[in-house]
Amino acid sequence: MNQSPTRREFLSRASGGFGALALAGLCSELQAASDDPLAAKTGHHAAKADRVIFLYSTGGTSHIDTFNYRPQLVADHGKSITASRWLNKSGDYSRFLIKPRFSFQQYGQSGAWVSELFPHIGSVIDDVCVLNAMHCESDGHDKATLAAHTGSAQFARPSMGSWVSYGLGTVNQNLPSFMVLAPAAPYAGAQTWSSDFLPACHQGTHVMPGTEPLPNIRPRNQATELQQMELAFQNRLNQSHLAQRAADQSLDARIRSFETAFGMQREAPEAFDLSQETEDTLRLYGLERGATSGFGWQCLVARRLAERGVRFLELIDVGSSGNWDSHGDMGDHVRLASAIDKPIAGLLTDLKQRGLLERTLVVWTTEFGRTPFHEQAAHAGREHHNLCFSSWMAGGGVKSGLVYGQSDEYGIVTAEDAVHTHDLHATILHLLGLDHERLTFRHAGRDFRLTDIHGRVVQDIIA
């Protein structure tokens, strides 16, 4: 009497021996670029950095209260000036100069000025290149945030992380090439990590801090061999379905998401397991053992993912305490700075100690700065200001212990070696071995790029 085949036998026969071959292709990190858009690729020129950790403080951090010390602003506190921009409008506005709310001191051999808000970052400032003459097009949160991430303040465009994934792929097929560690989205929402018109496989994977940062990633309680055969059979059906719909990018991306998810079952749980870290390392980030949230957690997990091959990591600084949009009281900056100061310094120190900083580009920025003046002489807050703000870079081929760019004496406008957001993007791509003018994608009848028709590489800050 013939017995019906078992589920295992059925899957094995249905795959026609295809299972082992399909699984090998599924998990291989050496797939040809023509077959896999996420396969590791070489850039346009020799790279100085292999990966990026992008730290984003949402809300508009005040440059004149953090990294851009303006002694003349202190001296002329309370004096009246005429400002050319106020609350997103151009014109002539009589305003009162407001000095920094926090004291500054010089740190390190470089003698860079850092405010009392960031003593830990001050202690590692010799590893940092401060950009004190940044500027951008908009002083509206949504537009400026979009521009900081996508290069466009007006239209939906792929994020920088998606462009990097598209240009370089990933060196670890078991983890996404672009990951975003954030308890919430910044202004402009998930568009900040969207792939937009690029293939959807380059979209950022959003990770929520917590006890289960990647839900449902652990494998089902079944034999690995059986799961492999199931996936092989599913892959064969998927590829047959895709072959009839080759132009459907979303379908291809969904198939690839299943492939990545299988690899993540093996690698992601270990990458997020901080129990392996020493007490000294946890202290470096300001973390208590067992913590599963906070910016220290984001920074330590970013280091673990970076050393496991994730190409682009964004850490969004936004939490239950709000963001840096301190219209009413600059005292908010104290709480916000204390949440990120030690973790960021710890990240730079940890990367350096492990020999990773040299090839890891760490970038900190915000969408814009805050006004050095106000319509009320005694007002405790500051308004949006896009004409000048501060950012910084470290590692990954950037000169260390350098303060680049100068504002005017009050921090109102850029005065020397200005760096536009487009220039920052062009420089980041350049350090990764990508030419921002050649990294293009054909869409809607034209070639698009991260920097559009703008941008220059800031050669003076490259080591």
CA–CA distances in Å: residue 19 to residues 79, 137, 230, 251, 392: 76, 53, 8, 22, 49
Put residue 64 in one of left, alpha, beta given phi > 0 → left and psi -120 to 50 → alpha.
Answer: alpha
CA–CA distances in Å: residue 435 to residues 42, 254, 349, 450: 12, 29, 30, 11
DSSP state of 322: B
| Same domain, residue pair 318 and 257 | no
pLDDT in single tens digits along all 463 residues of the chain: 444 444 444 333 333 333 333 333 333 333 334 468 888 999 999 999 999 999 999 999 999 999 999 999 999 999 999 999 898 888 999 999 999 999 999 999 999 999 999 999 999 999 999 999 999 999 999 999 999 999 999 898 999 999 999 999 999 989 999 999 999 999 999 999 999 999 989 999 999 999 888 776 555 555 566 656 666 666 677 667 666 665 555 556 555 655 665 667 778 888 999 999 999 999 999 999 999 999 999 999 999 999 999 999 999 999 766 899 999 999 999 999 999 999 999 999 999 999 999 999 999 999 999 999 999 999 999 999 999 999 999 999 999 999 999 999 999 999 999 999 999 999 999 999 999 999 999 999 999 999 999 999 999 999 9
The verdict on residue 348 lying in a domain is: yes
CATH number at residue 80: 3.40.720.10
What are the backbone dihedrals phi and psi of residue 391, each rounded to the nearest 5 degrees, phi first? -140, 175
| Same domain, residue pair 153 and 281 | yes
Across 254-309, the runs of DSSP E, i.e. the strands, are none
The verdict on residue 172 lying in a domain is: yes
Matching residue, tokens 């299972």? 19
The verdict on residue 111 lying in a domain is: yes
| Same domain, residue pair 47 and 182 | yes
- Written as six digits, the tokens of 338 are 């204390």
Whether residue 99 contacts residue 74, with contact meaning beta carbons closer than 8 Å, is answered with: yes
| Same domain, residue pair 263 and 342 | no
| Same domain, residue pair 365 and 451 | yes
| End position of a domain, from candidates 267, 290, 308 | 267
| Same domain, residue pair 191 and 244 | no
| Same domain, residue pair 171 and 232 | no
State pTM to two decimals. Answer: 0.87
The verdict on residue 396 lying in a domain is: yes
CA 219/CA 16 separation, integer angstroms: 25
| Same domain, residue pair 292 and 394 | yes
Across 302-457, the runs of DSSP E, i.e. the strands, are 312-317, 360-365, 369-370, 373-374, 384-385, 389-394, 402-404, 406-407, 414-416, 419-420, 441-443, 446-448
Q: How many structural domains compose the chain?
A: 2
What domain range includes position 288? 39-213+272-461
H or E segment to which residue 132 belongs = strand 128-135
| Same domain, residue pair 192 and 308 | yes
CA 430/CA 298 separation, integer angstroms: 26
CA–CA distances in Å: residue 252 to residues 70, 182, 190, 247, 316: 53, 27, 21, 9, 29
